[in-house]
Amino acid sequence: MRKTTPHDPRTAKQLTRRSILAASAGAAAALGAAGLPVLATGTPALAESEGEGKGNKYNQLRAEPLIPGGNRGIILYSVRDRISAAPDDSGVPYGFERVLARLAEIGYKEIEFAGYNQNTAILGRQITPTEIRKILDDNGLVANGTHTSIRADTFQQQLDIAEELGMKNIGTGSDPTNSAYQADWDAAADTWNELGRQAAARGMRLYTHNHDAAYSFLLDSGPLDALGRPTRSSGVRRLEYFFKQTDPRYVYFEFDIYWGYVARYKHQKFVDPTGQEQTSLFDPIINVAERTTRFPLFHAKDGNKNTTLPNGYEMTPLGEGDINFQQFFQTIGEPDFHHANWEQDTAPGGTLNRAQSLDFAALSYQNMSELTIYKRN
C-alpha cells in the first residue's frame, strides 16, 4: 500500500479490508504459542469454507465497529497547541469551548485531559473545572481520564477535580518510579495500592501510562555495585513486576500502543545472573491480553518504522503508520471495556499550520472508526 506523508491529511491512504486484517506470520505464531486467538489473513469471505452457511440467515457474517463509537476518545495533549492558544483571527478553534466543540463535531465521544488550563486572555482569568464540565455536557462528551500528578499529599484534591469532571479513571503519564531496582518498585506498589483504594472509595480507577522504559528489564540479581544495588537481571520487565505487586482491584493501566512497539524494538537484551547476555522480545499484544481487564484505557498512537531513529518508529496519525491496530484490538477482546484515546505527541503544526493537530484528529478518528470486526449471527 502506498504511504503518504503524515503532514498532509488530505492525501491520506484509505484503510482497506485487506490491510486491516493482515497479520504477520511471526506475530501469529507468538499468539498461537501463548494460547491466544490468531486472526486469519485475507477477508472473511476468503476465510469461509466454500458454501458454508449459504442461505442460512443465522450463520451470516456481519460487520461491527472494532472500537465502539462511545469508546473512541482523544487525549488533549494531541491538540495542546489549540487548547492553550490565545484568541486569534485564523478561524482555527482555540481554548476548551471551541476545541471541544470541534472534537465532538469530528465524532469523538470521550476526552482524556492533560491539564485543566487554557489561555487567560479567553475569559480574562483561568477557566474552572465546573466550567469545563459544562462544556463537556453541552457537547455530549465524557471525561474518561486525565494525566495529572499522582502524589499522596495532593491526591484528594485531584480526586475532587476528577469527580467534578465526571471521570471514572484518574491517572498519570509518568511511571510509578523511574528506577531500575526492585526495591523502588516495591515501594511504589505500596503507595499505589493505597491510593488506588482511595480512588475506588470514590468510584474511580487509578491508572498509570507507560513509555518504553517501563518495559525495560529490572535489575534484580547478580553482583552488587558499590552502593549495594543489583547489576544483572532475571529477565523480568519493570512494569510486568509492578503488575504482580499491585492489587488488581485498585491499580489499573493505560497501555500506550506506540511506546509498546518502541519497547519491543529497544529493549531486547539483558545480562542474566550468570553474566550471559540473553535476548527476549517484548510482545505488546500478549502483554495486554494476559491481563486485559487491567487496561481500561489505551493510547491509540501510530508510527512508521524508521530504524534510523533511536526509538525505531516515527509518530504518525492513526492508521497512517505500520502498527496493526486491527490485530491488536481484536486479539485483546473486551471491546466494551476498553477505551481508545488517540494521541500523537507531534501533532501540533506551530504557527505555520495552526490547524494541523485538529486535522490529524479528524483523520485519526476516521481511521479509528473504520476498524471493523466480523461476527456471525
pLDDT over threshold 90, residue 43: no
pLDDT digits (tens, 9 = 90+) for 318-330: 999 999 999 999 9
Dist CA 345 CA 251 (whole Å): 25
Dist CA 313 CA 252 (whole Å): 26
pLDDT level of residue 56 (50, 70, 90 thresholds): low
pLDDT level of residue 25 (50, 70, 90 thresholds): very low
pLDDT digits (tens, 9 = 90+) for 122-171: 999 999 999 999 999 999 999 999 999 999 999 999 999 999 999 999 99
pLDDT digits (tens, 9 = 90+) for 69-123: 999 999 999 999 999 999 999 999 999 999 999 999 999 999 999 999 999 999 9
**Residue ranges of domains in the chain:** 61-376
pLDDT over threshold 90, residue 215: yes
- Is the domain 61-376 a CATH 3.40.640.10 member? no
Dist CA 169 CA 339 (whole Å): 11
Return the pLDDT at 41.
39
The answer to whether residues 61 and 376 touch, using CB atoms and an 8 Å cutoff, is yes
Q: Which of 187-191, 214-218, 293-297, 371-375 has the lowest mean pLDDT?
A: 371-375
User: Hey, what's the torsion of the CAs at 71, 72, 73, 74, to 10 degrees?
Assistant: 160
Residues in Cβ contact with 262 at an 8 Å cutoff, skipping those fewer than 6 apart: 211, 212, 303, 311, 312, 313
